[in-house]
């Protein structure tokens, strides 16, 4: 029998009722006075259940945690930030979620807009007009309800906008008076089922038929997929399309788009195929120009890898969400068949059209079977070489990234695992069996340092109780930005296996330094100045233990890697707690 809903007494109680109506499981925040009303309503009026408080030590952690949760769960989580200062802390993580096209509900509080009710100094310096201006260029929508009666529509609209493709964060700010004043007249919540996001957008039929005709008649077609895997069922559709036409697939990695063990996976080594391709089908590719070109690390000059006659098809909704503040729209790539559509509905229809056009042409099918066999043989050879290379690293004095990925894969291969962050420089994809949609959550989108640990915790939170093992291959520089996220994992007993890819450097910057020095004919040895995390080195195991997380390391010998990971895995599985292993690796 359904429990009768409590009657809200204060404005913030109404906000909690809305969160409950949308089945929001968690609200992550670092406590702040401007949302003290919502805080009280969550823990007292709402009973700290749907939403439950996830206590974070920094707003960037709160938002990144919600980011990871949304990618793993497929629906929004709430992060709450404290007025101007909290929103400034959170802004990097909000930008990351914007670039990654992830739906997050970011809620905020502000001092009273009624200046006669402001406390001296603090309410004045913590109140903006209008607070949403601070993040407006990288949220999909922001709002600050004028009065309590406006709160339900604002929240419902925000949720709908965030979860309508292309998805992205929204920000809603609540005046302290709206939160803390008693409710006068009763405010009824509408039937939220009538405010669901619109149905997915299908492709133009003529454009889709033209795309199907090009693909069916292509001699050397290629597929490039990027954000397609945000909808897991579309991964299976992509496999079906690739197998139907024997088209090799490049997975750009912003989501899990294509199984790595499939014979048509050509993610590593696509350059030759790009050069030969006569038709390329791009699916939700954020930077198509970058996928078709090569760039000099020294001069930044780009040149096309594809030929001038290559036909380009792109199915995406990129044009539906463009801002001028940041250049995430990328280079404007010329296309032969541009299609605005949700790939989750467009790809199945494309498959139907391709089947129709192929008919029972035996000669065409035989050619495709031969192409499938050719790619299968090459794929098998590549995988065997990668495995041999990784295993050979066991005899080295230092631990390589390939060997780290291999040893971790050996420990977890019988588990129902999800790689929630990191990839050991791509070696996890080369060596492990990535077969299930959502088995890898993808990169951070905005590439902002500090995302990894918090997002991994959010993803592990989303999978709690599912029986899945969440694994984070954690970069050292990234963790230094938001190390207190470890405390949140310990506080809320979130099971997560963290294996440090600790190269004791902000190595991306070090690589840039090396390239610049080479080009200018200067000493490359100095690239480590200002990039190496050394003298002193960071003892990440000690840091983790200080936050209450089981940890060991630093592990510096190849023979020590697997036993240490096995011990940490035992903690995660048996005690349902986070555990960290600090592994010191070569840079690459």
What's residue 316's pLDDT?
A: 98
Residues 267-283 have pLDDT tens digits of 987 899 999 999 999 99
More confident residue, 497 or 508: 497
**pLDDT band at 511; cut points 50, 70, 90:** confident
* Residue-level pLDDT at 444: 75
Give burial (CB, 10 Å; 0-12/13-18/19+) of 14: buried
211 and 186 within one domain: no
Cβ atoms of residues 418 and 438 within 8 Å: yes
Give residue for tokens 């590719």: 285
What are the phi and psi torsion angles at 475 (to 5°)? -75, 145
Q: Distance between CA atoms of 404 and 588, rounded to whole angstroms?
A: 11
Same domain, residue pair 127 and 222: no
In this structure, the answer to whether residues 53 and 159 fall within a common structural domain is yes
For the segment 368-387, the average pLDDT, to the nearest whole number, is 92
What's the structural domain count of the chain?
3
Domain identity same for 222 and 149: no
- 200: in domain: no
Check whether residue 241 and residue 337 sit in a common domain.
yes
pLDDT digits (tens, 9 = 90+) for 96-148: 999 999 999 999 999 898 999 999 988 888 888 889 999 999 999 999 999 99
Instruction: Report pLDDT digits (tens) over 163-205.
Output: 999 999 999 999 999 999 999 988 999 999 999 999 999 999 9
Name the residue with higher pLDDT: 91 or 511.
91
Question: How does pLDDT run across 226-240, given as a tens digit for each residue?
Answer: 999 999 999 999 999
On whether residue 360 sits in a domain, the answer given is yes
- State mean pLDDT over 240-249: 97
The pLDDT value recorded for residue 15 is: 98
Residue at 1 is within a domain: no
Q: Give the mean model confidence (pLDDT) for residues 493-516.
A: 91
Q: Residue 83's pLDDT is what?
A: 92
Characterise 272 by phi-psi region: left (phi > 0), alpha (psi -120 to 50), beta (else): alpha
Q: What would the DSSP string read from start to end of 100-162?
A: TT---EEEEEES-SSGGGPPTTHHHHT--TTGGGGTGGGSSEEE--SSGGGHHHHHHHHHHHH
pLDDT surpasses 80 at 2: no
Give, for 316, the enclosing helix (H) or strand (E).
Answer: strand 311-316
Whether residues 191 and 209 share a domain: the answer is no
587 — pLDDT class (breaks 50, 70, 90): confident
- What does the pLDDT read at residue 446? 64
Closest CA to 493 of 376, 393, 571, 587: 571
332 & 419 share domain: no
- Which of 380, 410, 445 is the endpoint of a domain? 380
Section 385-391 average pLDDT: 95
Last residue of a domain, one of 139, 160, 195: 195
Strand, coil or helix: what is 97? helix
**Same structural domain, 433 and 496:** yes
Tell which of 195, 214, 240 closes a domain. Answer: 195
Residue ranges making up the domain that contains 244: 205-380
pLDDT of the residue at 52: 98
Q: Is 5 among the domain residues?
A: no
Q: Is residue 27 part of a domain?
A: yes
So what's the pLDDT on residue 125?
Answer: 87
Q: How confident is the model at residue 252 (pLDDT cuts 50, 70, 90)?
A: very high
Task: Judge if 466 and 568 occupy the same domain.
Answer: yes
Residue 447 has pLDDT above 70, yes or no: no
Looking at the fold, whether 190 and 213 belong to one and the same domain comes out as: no
Give mean pLDDT, residues 430-435: 96
Q: Whole-number mean pLDDT of the chain? A: 94
Q: Is the pLDDT of residue 1 over 80?
A: no
Does 6 fall in a domain?
no
321 & 464 share domain: no
59 occurs within a structural domain: yes
Quote the pLDDT of residue 445: 66
Categorize the per-residue pLDDT at 54 as very low, low, confident or very high, splitting at 50, 70 and 90: very high
């Amino acid at each position: 029998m359904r429990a009768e809903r409590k009657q809200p007494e204060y404005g913030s109680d109404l906000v909690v009722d809305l969160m409950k109506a949308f089945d929001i499981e968690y609200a992550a925040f670092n406590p702040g006075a401007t949302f003290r009303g919502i805080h009280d309503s969550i823990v007292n009026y709402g009973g700290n259940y749907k939403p439950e408080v996830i206590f974070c030590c920094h707003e960037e952690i709160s938002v990144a945690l919600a980011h990871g949760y949304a990618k793993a769960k497929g629906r929004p989580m709430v992060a709450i930030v404290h007025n101007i200062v909290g929103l400034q802390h959170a802004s990097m993580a909000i930008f990351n979620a914007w670039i990654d096209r992830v739906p997050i509900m970011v809620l905020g509080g502000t001092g009273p807009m009624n200046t006669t009710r402001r406390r001296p100094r603090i309410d004045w310096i913590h109140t903006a007009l209008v607070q949403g201006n601070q993040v407006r260029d990288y949220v999909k929508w922001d709002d600050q309800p004028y009065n309590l009666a406006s709160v339900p529509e604002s929240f419902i609209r925000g949720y709908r906008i965030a979860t309508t493709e292309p998805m992205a964060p929204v920000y809603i700010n609540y005046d302290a008076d709206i939160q803390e004043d008693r409710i006068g007249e009763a405010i009824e919540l509408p039937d939220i089922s009538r405010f669901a996001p619109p149905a997915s957008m299908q492709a133009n039929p003529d454009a889709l038929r033209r795309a199907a005709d090009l693909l069916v008649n292509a001699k050397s077609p290629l597929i490039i997929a990027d954000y397609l895997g945000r909808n897991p069922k579309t991964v299976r559709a992509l496999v079906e399309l690739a197998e139907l036409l024997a088209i090799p697939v490049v997975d750009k990695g912003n989501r899990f788009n294509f199984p790595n063990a499939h014979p048509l996976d050509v993610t590593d080594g696509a350059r030759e195929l790009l050069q030969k391709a006569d038709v390329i089908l791009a699916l939700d590719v954020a930077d198509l120009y970058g996928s078709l070109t090569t760039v000099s690390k020294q001069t930044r000059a780009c040149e096309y890898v594809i030929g001038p006659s290559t036909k380009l098809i792109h199915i995406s909704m990129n044009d539906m969400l463009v801002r001028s503040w940041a250049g995430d729209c990328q280079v404007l790539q010329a296309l032969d068949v541009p299609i605005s559509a949700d790939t989750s509905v467009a790809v199945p229809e494309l498959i139907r059209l391709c089947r129709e056009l192929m008919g029972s042409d035996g000669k065409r099918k035989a050619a495709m079977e031969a192409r499938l066999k050719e790619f299968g043989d090459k794929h098998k050879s590549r995988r065997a070489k990668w495995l041999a290379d990784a295993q050979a690293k066991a005899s080295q004095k230092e631990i390589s990234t390939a060997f780290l990925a291999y040893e971790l894969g050996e420990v977890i291969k019988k588990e129902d695992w999800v790689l929630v962050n990191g990839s050991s420089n791509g070696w996890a994809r080369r060596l492990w069996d990535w077969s299930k949609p959502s088995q890898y959550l993808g990169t951070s989108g905005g590439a902002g340092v500090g995302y990894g640990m918090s997002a991994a915790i959010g993803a592990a939170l989303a999978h709690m109780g599912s029986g899945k093992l969440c694994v984070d291959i954690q970069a050292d520089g990234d963790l230094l930005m938001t190390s207190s996220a470890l405390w949140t994992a310990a506080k809320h007993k979130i099971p997560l296996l963290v294996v440090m890819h600790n190269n004791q450097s902000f190595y991306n910057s070090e690589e840039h330094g090396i390239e610049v020095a080479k080009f200018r004919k200067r000493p490359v040895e100095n690239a480590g100045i200002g990039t190496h995390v050394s003298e002193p080195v960071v003892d990440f195991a000690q840091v983790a233990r200080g936050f209450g997380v089981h940890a060991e390391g630093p592990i510096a010998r190849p023979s020590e890697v697997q036993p240490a990971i096995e011990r940490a895995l035992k903690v995660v599985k048996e005690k349902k707690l986070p555990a960290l292993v600090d592994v010191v690796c070569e840079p690459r």
